[in-house]
Amino acid sequence: MYPLASLRITVVCGILLAADWVKEGGAEEISEPSNSVNITIPSLPPPVVLVQPDFIPVGANYSVYCQAARHFPNMTLSLYYRELQSASPEELQLLGSLTLEGTDTVIRARLPKIAAGERVEYSCRMEVIYSQRLYRSPFSAPATATAEEAPVRLVSQFQGPVCAGKLQMFAKGSWAPVCQDRNQGPSDRDAVALVVCRQLRCGDVHQVNPTSSSPAHRGELFMGPVECSGKEANLRECSIKGLESSCYKGRVLEIVCSDFLPLPTLSVLGYGGASSVYVYEKHELEISCTLSPQGKTDAAFELEVRGQTIFTGPAMHPGQSVSWRLDPPVSPGEYKCYAVVYGFDYRTKSSASNSVIVTTGPWFPPSPGLIVGALITILIGVGILVYMCVCRKRKEESE
């Protein structure tokens, strides 16, 4: 060793490659490298915190996980929380700590039912004892548990109606289409639709169709799959898997509730609201179908007899009607009309109107005037006969 020398250390990525003694002053003289020594600089990576499920409806239980990047001996994971309801959230509070045994790297906290409006932020950190020294990791990135009110809506091309369209649920700050699994059958879809129509106060289920997700849906989040019994008051009370990044393997539900398509009314000109009429085989008949004023949108009409469509009418506004003139010979049978709405992925047809049974025959029914005249004549004749009988009886008694 030189009497006046300094130590030059070469370190790459925290590893000492070599140490050389360098003579001070004059020409540089370097000794042979010493043996290599590894120097470990402690740096614990932060753990990861995760809230499951990612969608938590009001009143549901949930779990919070804290997971270390890898296993360390003598490792302790600590979970912290703070409530976010106030404008200035408090500092993180310790929820609990656990020293892991064996090769475990995860701790889990099961939390009770989350209340409406509740928002809680969670974070965790790791502590490791090594060579009688305590090392702490930075805090993990936070994860938030939010109580979702999860309102629903039906979206369509029609302005104003809320009782028909593709089903969406509001979660994580945005509206997400509800995606159902392809394996779910009609009864499963009907149960979901029943809950939605009840929640929106739109009556019963009229029609529910599984439709493919449109290109406009790509890149957005989807809710589901959803499983309901049909007795729930709100869709959030059903079993909901959570948010998904696509609906490639599923179908978006399109629901039409009964209040969207009120029943049309069928009537026959000259017969008022009669449920059955007789038509002379050589006479024509005029039938009218009226859309209820409480209708939510315009609708076309179809007239059926014996289950076969015989006429269609143009789209009309709620409260308007369309009439059909049936030339002789009029087909006998049960007549009904329907309101038809175009604009959904599937053709939407209302329930049937009231029915009118039409019968035809070769005899010509007398006019109401003739019938009234005949009745008056009969009554006069009966009155005369009664008068004659009374007079004769009185005459006989007087004799």
pLDDT at 218: 58
- List for the chain the helix, strand, coil content (%; round to 5): 15, 45, 45
Q: What is the pLDDT of residue 105?
A: 92
- 152-260 matches 48-148 in CATH topology: no
Record the tokens describing residue 193, joined without a space. Answer: 């639709």
Contacts 24+ apart (CB under 8 A), 7-15: 11/39, 14/39, 14/40, 14/41, 15/39
CATH classification of 48-148 is 2.60.40.10, yes or no?
Answer: yes
Contacts of 235 by beta carbon, 8 Å cutoff, 6+ apart: 150, 152, 169, 178, 192, 195, 196, 199, 226, 228
Pair type for strands 265-268 and 226-227:
unpaired
**Cβ-contact 311, 324 below 8 angstroms:** yes
Query: Is 250 in a helix, a strand, or coil?
Result: strand
Q: Measured in whole angstroms, how far is the alpha carbon of residue 380 from the centre of its chain?
A: 73
At 15 the pLDDT is 41
Domain locations in the chain as residue ranges: 5-38, 48-148, 152-260, 265-361
pLDDT at residue number 294: 74
Instruction: Give pLDDT, residue 138.
Output: 92
Q: Residue 7 has what pLDDT? A: 41
Q: Count CA atoms closer than 13 A to 1's CA, side-chain side.
A: 8
CATH number of 152-260: 3.10.250.10
Helix/strand/coil (H/E/C) assignment for every residue in 146-193 = EEECCCEEEECCCCCCCCEEEEEEEECCEEEEEEEECCCCHHHHHHHH
Q: Cα(241)–Cα(60) distance, rounded to whole angstroms?
A: 13
Q: Are 47 and 124 in contact (CB under 8 A)?
A: yes
Run means of pLDDT, 10 residues per run, the chain, 399 residues:
40 44 53 62 83 90 94 92 83 93 91 90 93 90 93 86 89 89 87 96 91 62 90 93 81 90 88 89 92 81 93 88 92 94 84 94 67 66 68 62
Q: Which CATH number fits domain 265-361: 3.40.50.300, 2.60.40.10, 3.40.50.10470, 4.10.1240.10?
A: 2.60.40.10
57, β-bridge pairs: 148
Residues 6+ apart with CB under 8 A from 266: 287, 288, 289, 335, 336, 337, 353, 354, 355, 356
